[in-house]
Structure 1
Amino acid sequence: MERSVRGDHPLGTRGQPGTLLRHPVLPEGGGHRGERKRAGAGPHRHQGPVPGDRRREVSPQVPDPLTRADLYFADKAILVEGASERIFVPAAEEKLAARRPGETPQHQYVTLMEVGGAHAHRFYPLLKVLGIPALIITDLDPVDDREPKIRKCLVSESGRTSNQSIRAWSPEMADITVAELLQRAERDPPIAGGSMCLAYQVPEEPGGPCGRTFEDAFALANRARFGISTGGAPAEELEQQARSSVETRRSKVDFALDHVLGDHDWQVPKYIRRGLEWLMAQDGTATKADVQ
């Protein structure tokens, strides 16, 4: 079942001019046996194996190109890691477009794809061939690898990223540190190359705290809403406050729905805002024939 959750899509529509961007509605309590349905390329996605079907089964955690055929017909593409970003991004687009009336192109086919984690790099070769403007929204995912047992850490603890979508962006980023990633993003925002743009978490202000996930970043962009200190506390302390404030919430999907369907008095995290502004500025006219 689907329900229109948004008006005219600020970057275009997933259909004919004048239609609405549509998203699957998550049933209350999740899908089969309490698991929430994952969104595919369209409203009809097979949710499990058919008895007697001998075709290969695809892990839900690995992108399956067979379900992403709309990439071939899209003017632009947005790739996100999970359901929370898939729900949030259209609302963020609408908020940004409202501030720039008349500046955003209409009647473009923009596909919004959830790739099931940090798997966007699997699409880099295809996106380069297609040549369409593509925004990849992913997580910084810092880890401390100084000990034999690698652990997740706060951004202020430095370390390296475990995100393959970042590490596979270019050869020089294969072993880049988190500090270097943040410096690069501040020096040349956003991280763009050819027809693709990479958006990962950055501080809301230079030298400030930075989220390691979408939820952390959203909390830091809206500190008062989450009871996070707005004073001059150390970055590490503020990052920990953000992490604690979102860990006590419900599921990630509920987290996004609470803000998209509820109160809209919130700020778009900087890394998503910069990425969407980059995408809005692209003309979306590139085709396979244009790419040499």
Structure 2
Amino acid sequence: MTLASPADTTVHGAYPAQTRLAATRAEERPDYPFQGRIGTGEFPAEPDRYHLYSAWTCPYAQRTAITRSLLALEDVITLSYVDDDRDGRGWAFREHRGPDPVNGFAFLSEAYDATEPGYPGHISVPVLWDKFTGEIVSNHYPDITLDLATRFEKWADPEVSLYPKKLRPQIDELNDHIFENVNTGVTRVAAARTQQEYEDARAKVIEAFESLDARLADSRFLLGDSLTESDVRLWVSLIRFDAASNPQAGISERTLKEFPRLWSYTRALYELPAFRDTTDLEAVSRGATPLETPGVTRIRVEPSQPV
């Protein structure tokens, strides 16, 4: 097994490597171009065929690990983690999180290049890898969890249904709301370059928190008494709010505790092994240095443990 050399932004620069992203955008390709689906003729649902490359620090990658665990697919789909630290070479495999157990790659970019030689684009997690064909099935994170939830039912816990047919229209609508106003909402606060952009972006996140807090007044989960895909998508942002995104970007003077139903909901889900065992609170809180953006005065919030 090969391990990458330590991350070094002085030598290799910070990620993203501009040459890769520039090439992707010049070709007008999506940042997540591998969009194969499980259940097709090319990628049938089979046990011990697929592998997930994940990262403890990435909320989108954590969603796949939570889903895999909730469905009890640990013996069906293997999983490994890239290192927490990243430089201009992208995600890597180092001693802290262990080597790549499937291909022995030192860098995740090798999986991309094995799928498309000379691949110029974004090196992202999660990655769903086909061990039979030696290629990436998908790095399109919204599809991966849906395929885990619906294509491996033969081997999954029959008591768990994260994307039931009767609720799919409601789940899809709620997922869009969560993605726009929470998952990427916190990112837009951090990325704001003017005071008005900052105030508008953080107002949207706060409004979403208030509406979601109210939604939980009469139910255990977002869509009633059953845990769904929407809960997984929201929770990964909530667990990072007090420890990372809020102290870094200055989103709200209120901590998660001051949205009492969201706070109780976050803590209750953390008690479930699928959520707790896929969370590294130390990794979540790393890199929460308050942003300094010329022309933007951000509120200051001290980081705190989310649960």
The structure richer in strand per residue is 1
The structure richer in helix per residue is 2
TM-score norm. by structure 1 comes to: 0.25
